[in-house]
Structure 1
Amino acid sequence: MSSLSKRCVAELIGTFWLVLGGCGAAVLAAGFPELGIGFAGVALAFGLTVLTMAFAVGHISGGHFNPAVTVGLAAGGRFPVREIVPYVVAQVVGAIVAAAVLAVIAGGKEGFDLVASGFAANGYGEHSPGGYTLTAALICEVVMTFGFLFVILGATDKRAPAGFAPIPIGLALTLIHLISIPVTNTSVNPARSTGPALFVGGWAVEQLWLFWLAPIVGALLAAVVYRFVGRENVVA
Structure 2
Amino acid sequence: MRGHINPAVTFGLFVGRKVSLIRAFLYIVAQSAGAICGAGLAKGFQRSYFERYGGGANFVQPGYNKGTALGAEIIGTFVLVYTVFSATDPKRNARDSHVPVLAPLPIGFAVFMVHLATIPVTGTGINPARSFGSAVIYNKDKIWDDHWIFWVGPFIGAFVAAVYHQYILRAAAIKALGSFRSNN
Fold agreement, TM-score > 0.5 = yes
Q: Is the 8 A contact 2:39 2:134 kept in 1?
A: yes
Q: Tell me how far apart the structure 1 counterparts of residues 158 and 20 of structure 2 sit (CA, whole Å).
A: 16
Task: Specify which structure has the bigger relative contact order, considering alpha-carbon pairs within 8 angstroms and separated by 6 or more residues.
Answer: 2
Secondary structure of 2:18's counterpart equals coil
State yes or no: 1:148 paired with 2:87. Answer: no
Secondary structure of 1:206's counterpart equals coil
Q: Tell me how far apart the structure 2 counterparts of residues 95 and 210 of structure 1 sit (CA, whole Å).
A: 17
Q: Structure 1: 5+ residue runs without aligned partners?
A: 1-58
Partner of 2:97: none
Partner of 1:201: 139
Partner of 2:105: 167
Q: Describe how 1:13-162 pairs up with structure 2 within 5 A.
A: 59=1, 62-107=2-47, 109=48, 114=51, 117-124=53-60, 128=61, 131-160=63-92, 161=94, 162=100
Give CA deviations for 1:129-178 in whole Å, capped at 9, x if unaligned: x5311111000000111111111100011133453111111111111101
Q: Tell me how far apart the structure 1 counterparts of residues 102 and 21 of structure 2 sit (CA, whole Å).
A: 26
TM normalised by structure 2 equals: 0.85
Give CA deviations for 1:80-129 in whole Å, capped at 9, x if unaligned: 2221111001101111111001001222x4xx572x531211111xxx1x
Q: Structure 2: 5+ residue runs without aligned partners?
A: 95-99
In structure 2, relative to structure 1, the CA distance for the partners of 1:113 and 1:91 (3 Å cut) is closer
Q: Is the 8 A contact 2:83 2:106 kept in 1?
A: yes
The structure having more radius of gyration, on CA atoms, is 2
Q: Tell me how far apart the structure 1 counterparts of residues 44 and 144 of structure 2 sit (CA, whole Å).
A: 20
Q: Is the 8 A contact 1:70 1:79 kept in 2?
A: yes
TM normalised by structure 1 equals: 0.67
Q: Tell me how far apart the structure 1 counterparts of residues 109 and 50 of structure 2 sit (CA, whole Å).
A: 32
Give CA deviations for 1:177-198 in whole Å, capped at 9, x if unaligned: 0111010000011001001111
Q: How many residues in Structure 1 have an aligned counterpart in Structure 2?
A: 168
Partner of 1:186: 124
In structure 2, relative to structure 1, the CA distance for the partners of 1:98 and 1:230 (3 Å cut) is same
RMSD: 1.6
Identity %: 36
